[in-house]
């Protein structure tokens, strides 16, 4: 488990620079990160991290059909702590995860720089089919196929990831050099009234991609093709949906990771969600469910549970009561984690709306 306390972010969403075809996006953040592991011999390490990321990209369509998107980015990270780098590299000994915080020697106050560049090529191919059904609210179908090729390059960071405490994806950055081959399929229709104007609605969205390495012997254990990843989204109605993420190892012929989310949410008075999570490397296979019900305008309830099918036990259970006080609301939550012998109560208060009366200051 990773704690980020405190965490401050300043993010600039991608925006166009003037009337040019150049775009900029950036993010700056500071976090004090603490890594904890469950169990008696739990490892624990911590570090402050300042992260600044800046990317410049160019987007333009050529010949009326070919989209070209080159980009370049620069990331700087400052860490207040890091693992001891004085270990003898010839010892050949590997520290099993989770690795304990080095005592008493730690690296202190160091910077890491990461430069990345890329080039994307894509186009859209589509066809329209005269399909109409009332029960699915389909007024013709449009099938959009988007093949794309993206070249991804990340130079060697000035500090290797093994010399940085691992908290999230930012700390895992290493050299990358490959072509990402992607094929996206979308089924769309038009919904809405003629008076208000019809808008596009995506019924299904399937994306399949795999990396093709230029130096597989160096970057991917001598494997030319990387793992096959897929993402499927199905939204027949605004209140119902499915989202599936899958990672498949074609060399070992096995699923390495999958995440499935299903939800039914007709309105804000009740909803039901179901999730499944599988990780081969961590021998993890979990299912979870959540049910929310608003009994009346004042009271609402929510029940959540996560079950480990490998260990045959519940990992987390919670029950929440909500109380509406018109302009503000509160909740009382009881949460239990049997594996960690942990029982927690949360009492929360938040403001729903502000008074429309003006605020005046006078002497």
In this prediction, residue 121 has a pLDDT band, given cuts at 50, 70 and 90, of: very high
Q: What is the DSSP letter of 339?
A: G
pLDDT (tens digit, 9 = 90+) per residue, 130-151? 988 888 888 889 999 999 999 9
For residue 95, the model assigns a pLDDT of 44
Closest C-alpha among 109, 110, 102 to residue 83: 102
Average pLDDT over residues 171-193: 93
pLDDT (tens digit, 9 = 90+) per residue, 244-297? 999 999 899 999 999 999 999 998 899 999 999 999 988 889 999 999 999 999
For residue 38, the model assigns a pLDDT of 61
SS3 137: coil
- Measured distance CA(277)–CA(117) in Å, rounded: 33
pLDDT (tens digit, 9 = 90+) per residue, 41-92? 455 789 999 999 999 999 999 999 999 999 999 999 999 999 876 654 344 4
Domain extent listing, the chain? 252-363
For residue 92, the model assigns a pLDDT of 41
Task: Give the chain's mean pLDDT.
Answer: 88
* Residues 293 and 301: beta-carbon distance below 8 Å: yes
**Residue 342 or 25, more confident:** 25
- The Cα-based distances of 90 to 87, 161, 183, 186, 202 in angstroms read 9, 19, 45, 53, 56
* Residues 62 and 70: beta-carbon distance below 8 Å: no
Q: Would you state the torsion angle of the CA atoms of residues 126, 127, 128, 130, taken in this order, to the nearest 10 degrees?
A: -150
For residue 105, the model assigns a pLDDT of 61
For residue 158, the model assigns a pLDDT of 95
The pTM of the full predicted model, rounded to 2 decimals, is 0.78
- Measured distance CA(236)–CA(267) in Å, rounded: 16
SS3 219: helix
pLDDT (tens digit, 9 = 90+) per residue, 305-316? 999 999 889 999
**Residue 339 or 11, more confident:** 11
Average pLDDT over residues 31-47: 75
pLDDT (tens digit, 9 = 90+) per residue, 320-357? 999 998 888 999 999 998 877 778 899 999 887 665 65
- Taking every pair of C-alpha atoms in the chain, what is the biggest distance, in angstroms? 76
For residue 282, the model assigns a pLDDT of 85
pLDDT above 60 for 163: yes
């Amino acid at each position: 488990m990773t704690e980020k306390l405190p965490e401050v972010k300043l993010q600039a969403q991608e925006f166009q620079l003037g009337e040019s075809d150049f775009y900029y996006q950036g993010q700056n953040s500071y976090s004090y990160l603490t890594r904890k592991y469950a169990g008696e011999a739990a490892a624990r390490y911590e570090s402050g991290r300042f992260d600044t990321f800046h990317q410049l990209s160019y987007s333009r369509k050529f010949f009326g059909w070919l989209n070209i998107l080159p980009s370049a980015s620069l990331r700087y990270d400052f860490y207040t702590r890091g693992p001891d780098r004085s270990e003898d590299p010839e010892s050949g000994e590997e520290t099993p995860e989770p690795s304990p915080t080095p005592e008493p020697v730690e690296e202190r106050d160091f910077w890491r720089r990461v430069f990345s560049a890329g080039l994307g090529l894509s186009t859209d191919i589509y066809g329209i089919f005269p399909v109409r059904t009332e029960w699915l609210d389909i007024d013709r179908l449009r099938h959009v196929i988007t093949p794309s090729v993206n070249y991804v390059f990340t130079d060697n960071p000035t500090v290797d990831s093994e010399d940085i405490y691992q908290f999230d994806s930012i700390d895992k950055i290493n050299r990358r050099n490959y072509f990402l081959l992607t094929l996206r399929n979308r089924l769309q229709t038009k919904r809405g009234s003629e008076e208000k104007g019809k808008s596009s609605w995506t019924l299904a969205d399937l994306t399949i991609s795999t990396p093709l390495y230029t130096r597989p012997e160096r970057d991917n254990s001598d494997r030319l093709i990387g793992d096959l990843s897929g993402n499927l989204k199905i939204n027949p109605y605004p209140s119902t949906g499915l989202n599936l993420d899958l990672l498949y190892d074609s060399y070992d012929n096995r699923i390495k990771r999958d995440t499935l989310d299903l939800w039914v949410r007709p309105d804000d008075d009740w909803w039901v969600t179901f999730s499944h999570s599988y990780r081969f490397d961590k021998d993890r296979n979990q299912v979870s469910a959540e049910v929310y019900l608003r009994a009346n305008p004042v009271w609402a309830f929510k029940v959540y549970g996560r079950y480990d099918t490998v260990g045959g036990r519940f990992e987390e259970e919670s029950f929440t009561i909500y109380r509406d006080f018109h302009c503000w609301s509160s909740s009382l939550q009881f949460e239990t984690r049997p594996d960690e012998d942990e029982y927690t109560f949360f009492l929360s208060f938040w403001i729903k709306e502000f008074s429309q009366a003006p605020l005046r200051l006078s002497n």
